[in-house]
Amino acid sequence: MIKTAKLFSYDNLQLEEVQLATFGRKLTGQADVLPGYRLSELIIRDPHIMKMSGKIIHIMVRYTGQRRNLIKGTLFKVTWAELLATDRYEAEDYKRVSAVLLSGALAWIYVSK
């Protein structure tokens, strides 16, 4: 039995080319919302990540604790191996934490360190 995890993406992991490069497959997911966070920008310096995403500036989230701050994204079901691949993909400026989405789902998200 393959152990799975829930992963919420608000930026590049929603892109098919990033999914194929990171997981070797296209993910399917459902729309959801992350409360209590706000968006900010991060300049990427890792050439491998820039090549995969096609972007120099990535979006990251910062915790505000204010439920009126809402971030739209996609909730994916991934394997634990894919979650570890996501850890490798995300730049050193991110860390993985768990959060409760508006749907009530508990998911992993990547936030500013």
- Name all domains of the chain by residue range, CATH numbers in brackets: 4-112 (3.10.490.10)
What percent of the chain lies above the pLDDT cut of 70? 94
- The residue that leads in pLDDT, 33 or 15, is 33
pLDDT of residue 70: 97
pLDDT of residue 19: 94
In this structure, are residues 45 and 79 in contact, taking their beta carbons and an 8 Å threshold?
Answer: no
68-106 tens-digit pLDDT: 999 999 999 999 999 999 998 876 778 999 999 999 999
Confidence tier at 65 by pLDDT (50, 70, 90): very high
Integer Cα distance of 90 and 12 in angstroms? 10
- The residue that leads in pLDDT, 12 or 91, is 12
SS (H, E, C) the chain: CCCEEEEEECCHHHCHHHHHHHHCCCCCEEEEEEECEEEEEEECCCHHHHHHHCCCEEEEEEECCCCCCEEEEEEEEEEHHHHHHHHHHCCCCEEEEEEECCCCCEEEEEEEC
